[in-house]
Structure 1
Amino acid sequence: MTIDRRTLLRASLGGATAGVLGVTTAARAAPGPGRRSTIFVAGDSTAATYALADLPRAGWGQALPVFLHHGVAVVNAALSGASSKSFADQGRLDLIRAAIRPGDTLLISFGHNDEKVEDPARGTDPWTTFQDYLRRYLDGARAARAHPILVTPVERRRFTADGVPYLSHGAYPDAMRALARQTRTPLIDLTALSFDLWGRLGPEATKDHFLWLDAGEQPTYPAGAADNTHFQAHGAIEVARLVVAAGRSLPGRDRRALRDPAIPDDVLTWPPIRPAES
């Protein structure tokens, strides 16, 4: 398959457009002369880019450009419902491998759907098949002389009746941490970072980050929503902040934006359709 990389990396100012191959391209202004650095995201619904019909739902991959300088493109290939297994088995890793170039970065974040072990198309065992599939992403990036970074799955909104947060991902984060050590791969421990953030915010304040909406608050969710896994714009932005702040090897980190505690929700844009599903 011949890939037109210029087409893949086309992006509208401040927004997101559907590129070829069902891969999302998100970036801000075009850079000056020279080659643009590109960050690819392979992940699930917590990272995916959402459409106008989903507003205000957003994924952290959709919000990454908020914390990056204009010369860095983000190709967000994260797909709702994907596990490390199904993403690869459906050929989506192959599409990234065909497009990624030397010096690019690949963020790899799975776990939510790998946990669905009752589903043979998605479920993996943390210490065997999960690690085996993740190695495919690492090997693919390194074969292209790109830089893989493992990202443990963002934690869900889980609190006891006493308001104490608790972990929900079982052994999957530990399995990813162990693989990072074994393969000398940089790791962003988003599980730990997000768990700490949700604990500091508490049960009520976290509702402003997750997709909690009152009935009639948003026309896209007329009955309201009480989603403890997915984010609205504010949460996507704050999780993206965690990723970029911890990802010290990411190109083009915007330290001024990272220090800004008041990034407005409307800095995000929503494309007409979900790019990764088009």
Structure 2
Amino acid sequence: MTPLPRRTALAGAAALPLLALGAGPAAAGPRRTTLYVAGDSTASAYTAAEAPRAGWGQALPAFATVHLAVADRALSGASSKSFADLGLLDGILADIRAGDLLLVSFGHNDEKTSDPARGTDPYTTYQAYLRRYLDGARERGALPVLVTSVERRRFDAAGHAHASHGLYPQAMRDLAAAEQVPLIDLQALSLAAWERLGPEGTKAHFLWLAAGGNYPAGVADNTHFQAHGAVELARTVARELLRQCLLRPSCLRRLDDPVPDGAITWLP
């Protein structure tokens, strides 16, 4: 998951005004809840020049009502360590308020242990950095929610999907249990989905494109998503938020309805 140079600044300050969407001004009554996303390139927002590439955090506003704003602060190439070390966690904690939610989803780049700026160890530094997100949100009266890393498109010779994240998902599960915070197990949910869809069916979710448009040479990317995949992963996350009673039902919509790829907003 190589960082995209032109997006480094966008993913912090510039992405927020464009993706803090709740479908219009807040209705009378309680203020809108804001759902913050801290994560990597699988969740981050992309520019129109990169479409149809999209992250699941970028697609979450498609399921938000007027009662929910989505602030996707995810950064391509980030790990739990580098996101915090770059000051992006501090930026979220400066803005988050009591009653808001913080989704925390890292692991893809924490696995790059040869890179001292990003690599972490599952049961030591990874958990230690994740605790900074949990503690910071709770100190401000917000609810942190851990989200295990979405699975890559990996299949064995028999066509079965297999896990690729080593101990990181289990380390996050164990931390959620120890800290008594909610967990969305996107790794397990996505792995089951890829198993159902199979090697060919998953290509419509991942960034597999024929030559043309923004990808004149074509692309076969088994880590990142095109719009359809981002929408369906966002639907999975939204359903879990509702199932676990982490958001009011009035905050979410279209969970069982078709959502077109065009529902995603790309950055300029």
Taking structure 2 as the reference length, the TM-score comes to 0.90
Aligned length: 252
Any idea what SS the aligned residue of 2:123 has?
A: coil
Q: How far off its partner does 1:23 sit?
A: 4.8
- Asked if the contact 1:68/1:252 (under 8 Å) is kept, the reply is no
RMSD after superposition: 1.5
Q: How far off its partner does 1:161 sit?
A: 2.4
Cα distance between partner residues in 2 of 1:184 and 1:177? 10
1:138 is the counterpart of 2:130: no
- Asked if the contact 2:12/2:88 (under 8 Å) is kept, the reply is no
- Asked if the contact 2:211/2:219 (under 8 Å) is kept, the reply is yes
Cα distance between partner residues in 1 of 2:209 and 2:12? 34
Cα distance between partner residues in 2 of 1:186 and 1:197? 21
Q: How far off its partner does 1:24 sit?
A: 2.1
The one-letter amino acid paired with 1:145 is: G
Q: How far off its partner does 1:29 sit?
A: 1.5
Q: How far off its partner does 1:239 sit?
A: 0.4
2:254 aligns with 257
Cα distance between partner residues in 2 of 1:132 and 1:81? 19
Q: How far off its partner does 1:250 sit?
A: 3.6
1:227 aligns with 221
Q: How far off its partner does 1:30 sit?
A: 1.6
Cα distance between partner residues in 2 of 1:214 and 1:252? 41
Q: Which runs of 5+ in 2 are unaligned?
A: 1-9
2:171 aligns with 175
Taking structure 1 as the reference length, the TM-score comes to 0.87
Deviations 1:90-147 (A, max 9, x none): 1100000100000000000000000000000000000000000000000000010100
The one-letter amino acid paired with 2:161 is: P
Q: Residues 162-241 of structure 1: matches in 2 within 5 Å? A: 162-216=158-212, 219-241=213-235
- Asked if the contact 2:211/2:217 (under 8 Å) is kept, the reply is yes
Q: Residues 104-183 of structure 1: matches in 2 within 5 Å? A: 104-183=100-179
- Asked if the contact 2:106/2:148 (under 8 Å) is kept, the reply is yes
2:4 aligns with none
- Asked if the contact 2:15/2:45 (under 8 Å) is kept, the reply is no
Q: 1:20 to 1:206 in 2, by over 3 A?
A: closer
Q: 1:21 to 1:263 in 2, by over 3 A?
A: closer
Q: 1:264 to 1:93 in 2, by over 3 A?
A: same
- Asked if the contact 1:158/1:165 (under 8 Å) is kept, the reply is yes
Q: 1:193 to 1:35 in 2, by over 3 A?
A: same
Stretches of 4+ aligned residues off by more than 6 angstroms: none
Question: What is the aligned counterpart of 1:30 among 16, 22, 25?
Answer: 25
What percent identity do the matched residue pairs reach? 60
Q: How far off its partner does 1:162 sit?
A: 2.0
Question: What is the aligned counterpart of 2:55 among 25, 38, 59?
Answer: 59
1:21 is the counterpart of 2:13: yes
